Every structure is written in structure tokens, then in C-alpha cells.
Amino acid sequence: MMRRALERLILWLAPDHRKKWAQAMTAEMAVIENSRKAVAFALGCLIACCHFRCEFNIAQTGSRVVKDRFVILTFIAGVAAGSIGLAYLLVSGAPLTKILVNGGAIVIGILLALSLRLSARATDSVVTAIALIGAFILFGTAIFGYAIEDARRWLLIGPFFIQTSLILLPLIAVCFARVQNFRTTAAVIVAAFAMAAQPDRAMAAMLFVAVAIVGMMRPGRLTVSAALFCTMTFATTLLLPDRLPAVPFVDHILWTAFDTGLWVGLMLWAGCLLVVCPIIFVPKAERTVLHYVFASCWLTLIAAAAIGAYPTPIVGYGASAIIGYFLSLIFLQPRSLGRLAGDKVRSGATEADEAMPPLRNSPPYFAI
């Protein structure tokens, strides 16, 4: 039944000029007897179909391909790192459901790339609204979400546990880097308070680092105030106990992967490097606050995963981080590209002023 569903999805996603290829792939999948191998093959075909569909839609609409080198490299790096994560789950003997969840998240991420062209049209009001909505969802999770060992970080939707902070907090950080006004500052403060209330040290640290970078590159009353508040909330999480146990295929995998094999451990570290390295290929003079904030978000989460029992983003099990990565990537393409690195733009300036360039498995539930 699962095979059949994947076959139909592949045939549906494939553009007309790739239909014969899709039919050949589904026919080959049908003769694979081993279920795990068949699903792995199908996920690879599905990712390829999403790539073909993205190319086709861009060509059909006449939209220009995003010219920001960082955005392009970051998208490629995300797909590559996610694929490395799938390979890790396969060779480590992870349950098939976990492989399907991560594979599905990569497909969703690739489809989100279709929204890249919409980002350049997003006004300050749209970016601000998205930041506020995301912040209040995080606050709602901290109050009404599903709790495990006094940590209230998840929403239970159907059979899935969704860690909302991994999906929304990087997006909020990027929105704040793109637009600084009273409302985006309020969104950051609400999100920071939610991280302290949940509590979640890793995500609070990520927000603190990202907002501190905005405050340093764009010093002003609003950005500095947000940075100070994030400092206090992060310090609060350090004082609160974190009793969540490590989860297989999620926590500590940057070290435990070496038990499976040296090449497996090195592969995971390479995947983490892929997530943060695109900024290296952007000339220093062209780097903007958006570049630094995005890279620092994921570098902080990887560092937290290496140090403590926190989810390893992209290469570990969990759809939330994968979706959050591609979702935040959408808003890396500002309306007007320009040099932001080193600029001293006032907080609250508009885009025109700036000239901007889990859990814990308890079947039938799945932490994503």
C-alpha cells in the first residue's frame, strides 16, 4: 500500500517531459522485493521528481531563478545534508517510519523552494505578520503544548509530535534580520519568552546568537533591546533543569554514529558542515546580516547537539528541523539585494531606507 502511494505521488509530481522516466522508475521499484530498499529507492525518485517539478514551474512562469549565490548554495546544501541523514538512518537500522518521515520532510522542503520567487515580493508588512504569527504559535505551544518531563515543546497533530520551535524560530530570526520594527521586535521577545517557558536551552541559545548578530550589525534601540531580552531568557533556561533523556537517531548521533562505522560518523559531520558552509563561498564584502543570521542559527543548533542531548538538525531524525531549514531559506531573498554587512542602519528602518541587498517514540505517535 505504501509503495503504491509513493508510485502515484512520483507519477503525479513528474512534469510531462519526465513522465516516461517516472514510469520507468516506478516499474523498477515494483520489482524490488526488500521493503526498506524499495522505500529508499522511491524516496530518491521522489526527491528527483520534486527537483524536476521546481525547474519546470520556474520555466513555465518565466520567473527568474534566484540569483543570490548564498540562497542557491544553501538550498543544495540542505538537500544534500538531508540525503546524508536518510543514508544514516538506513545503515543504522532505523525504523522504516523514521526514514519515511525524514524523506517526506525533504520533499516538502524542496516544494517550499517554489516559494522563493514570492519572497522578493514580500513587503515589510508580510514579513512582520509572519514573524508575529510564528511567535504566538510558539507561545501557544509553551502554554498548551504536549509536555514530556516538564518540557512543553511539542504539538500533537494526528500521530505526529511536531516541535514548533525548530520549524518557526529560525524563520522568526531571519524575518527580524530582514525587517526591524516594533512589531518584529515584539515577535522576537514573545518567542524568547516562549523558549524560556518551554524551556528549551538550545533554541533559546540559537535565538540569542541570531538577535545578537542583528544588534551588532544594526545597532539601535529596538535591536539592542531584543538582544538584551534574549540574553535574559537564555540565561533563564540555563538555570532550569532539563530532564529529557537522549533519544536514538535524534540526540548524540554525531558521536554514536561512529559506533556504526567510522565513515558513518564522518558522513554525519560532513552533512553538518554542508549546512553551515555556504556562507564561506559568499565574498566577505557581499555578506549581509541575513547571511550571518541564517548560518549562525544552524551552527548554534549543531553545536548544541554536539554538546548535549538536543536534536541534531537535518542529518538526524526529525522532520521539524528539515522543514524549518527550508522555510527560513525562503526569506533569505529580500526585495532589494544590497550590502548589509557592516551597515549601521537604524532599527525600525524600512526596506526602502535600508536598500537591502522526540520524542520519544510511543507508537502510534511519531516525533518529527
Distance from C-alpha of 25 to C-alpha of 41, rounded to nearest angstrom: 9
The residue assigned the cell 513528474 is 14
pLDDT at 297 over 90: yes
Distance from C-alpha of 160 to C-alpha of 108, rounded to nearest angstrom: 16
pLDDT given for residue 54 in this prediction: 63
pLDDT at 292 over 50: yes
Shortest CA distance to 297 belongs to which of 133, 196, 168, 193? 168
Main-chain dihedrals φ then ψ at residue 161, nearest 5 degrees = -90, 120
pLDDT given for residue 160 in this prediction: 81
DSSP letter at 362 equals B
Which helix or strand (DSSP H or E) is residue 51 part of?
Answer: helix 35-61
Shortest CA distance to 129 belongs to which of 171, 170, 163? 171
Contact between 14 and 53 under an 8 Å Cβ cutoff? The reply is: yes
pLDDT at 158 over 60: yes
Q: Which three cell numbers stand for residue 225?
A: 533591546
Q: Which residue has the higher pLDDT, 53 or 155?
A: 155
Q: What is the pLDDT of residues 39-83, one digit of tens each?
A: 777 777 777 777 676 666 555 544 444 456 788 888 889 989 999
Distance from C-alpha of 13 to C-alpha of 7, rounded to nearest angstrom: 10
pLDDT given for residue 284 in this prediction: 87
Query: pLDDT category, 148, cuts 50, 70, 90?
Result: confident
Q: Which three cell numbers stand for residue 336?
A: 532589494
Percent of residues, the chain, with pLDDT higher than 70: 82
Q: What is the pLDDT of residues 94-145, one digit of tens each?
A: 998 899 999 999 988 888 876 665 666 678 888 999 999 999 999 999 999 8
Give the lowest-confidence range in 12-16, 214-218, 313-317, 320-324: 12-16
Q: What is the pLDDT of residues 237-263, one digit of tens each?
A: 999 888 888 899 999 999 999 999 999
Contact between 178 and 186 under an 8 Å Cβ cutoff? The reply is: no
The residue assigned the cell 538526524 is 316
pLDDT at 348 over 60: no
What is the pTM (predicted TM-score) of this model? 0.79
Distance from C-alpha of 324 to C-alpha of 172, rounded to nearest angstrom: 10
pLDDT at 2 over 80: no
Which distant-in-sequence residues (6+ apart) come within 8 Å of 175 by Cβ?
127, 128, 130, 131, 134, 184, 187, 331
Shortest CA distance to 282 belongs to which of 11, 20, 73, 25? 73
